[in-house]
Chains A and B, each alone.
Chain A
Amino acid sequence: MQPGVPAAAVRHVFYLHGFASSPQSSKATFFSERLAARGIRMECPDLNQPDFFTLTVSRMLAQLETRVAALPPGGVVLIGSSLGGLVAVEAAARQADAARHPITQLVLLAPAVELEWEKWTEVTPVGIEGWRAAGAIDVFHYAFEGNRRLAFAFYEDAARYDASARRLSQPMLIFQGRHDESVSPASVERFAAAQPHATLCLLDDGHQLKDSLQFIWEKTAAALGL
């Protein structure tokens, strides 16, 4: 770090959207607008690029790291939603560029720290074996408002990660809906309990957390010192 420049002065805020979502999602837009009002430009990579078919957690991590590396030195705050939360956790654990771009804080929204495949409605009709046999499955993509194919490689790649086993030193805010049908509150509670600096807010909401956005923002703004 450069002398004379306080470590927390330059800070980049990233939003990692969820599975089959996009930077245009209502949550992403919500955070982007609130941060912009505080003079912060939120980075929101489109994790669907170059195509949804070849999406993997590894690809998302690589995209994030590439994007971060291109920025001026400074701390990095990751806001991750659902699968984006898993990516945030892994990135924070790896600290790929601790010298110039340390990941300093996390805000996790219903993070999919345990990939509960039996809850994936895309998978349940055919099962993992069906997915393997067909090579790909149909996923309803909310940004494209239609079905897209997802290669089995996604499963194989995701299986190599175990975010629930990570113990992160960074302070983190975690928001989880009690009525979440995609990410079980229990899995998030377990994860939060194992982190030294985690604050978990269990909310009366579903996976989208759409009724809690204002509350989430207030807590996040406070945590970021805004």
Chain B
Amino acid sequence: MLVKTAPDIRSADITDKKLYLARREFIRAAAATTVGAAAGVLGVGAAEAQSWPRVKIPGALKDSGWGKGEKPNAYQDITTYNNFYEFGTEKEDPAANAHTLKTTPWTVKIDGLVSKPADYHLEDIVKPEALEERVYRLRCVERWSMVIPWVGFPLANLLKRVEPRSNAKFVEFTTLLNQQQMPGTRRDVLQWPYVEGLRLDEAMHPLTILAVGLYGEYLPNQNGAPIRLVVPWKYGFKSIKSIVRIRLTDREPMNSWQLSAPHEYGFYSNVNPERDHPRWSQARERRIGEFFMRPTLIFNGYGDQVASLYAGMDLKRYY
């Protein structure tokens, strides 16, 4: 199958200059007359005290070329606006509460239909890899999105190392579950532990990465430290955080959100403006930092790279 690997994200993000300026003027005018709140819209404000350690990832990071021309969102926004229910269901909760997460030592159990099942130490997973910077869009199912400069490596590299068996069709991921470290898990807001899954070809796709950092630094806890998945053409909840287990299987995994509300969240969860969430439209999204909601793109704009995975598939049925 032909997979286009052109990293440039083009027409979707280049707006007509006049309209762009007009919109900027509108926003400025709104800010001048609307007290306070509008200033917040433009992201103007005091920098919050960063209360988590920021550690630069040593060594040079390869520039993958992904996300050229995309302006990443502010570090402040990326690290204080999170859905990580294990640490609370409000957006500010993970940044405030995730300091209790213990990220070293960290082990990822890789098992199931693989030739080399084992409990892998994080260092053994990451050290052999040439980490690269991938600037990806992340589109949350709640209709907001950000551009995040991840640091990671292709998931395919890890999977090849553990040699999936020929009958392996899916990859299942599991997040850490620890009630002491994760206060939000004391309530069954979702069924814990958090589970996600991919079809094997999705997992092997060059776009799919395991991320260990962002903005050149190791992941803050609230962003899914120390290792998480990023699948940019799917809704954000599929980019599972703080992974402790990767299992190859021949059956479609039951991911946590589908378990919680099957008519609202499915397995594939590809970004699709034509398939509404039962309670809201998915046709538009708010890019954090902007006022006007931009049209949502099929596969979050990565259609050239991934559409072929779903050729002939009814995406309204397999949501």
- Asked if A and B form a direct contact in the complex, defined as CB atoms under 8 angstroms apart, the reply is no
Q: Interface residues, chain A, CB within 8 Å of chain B? A: none
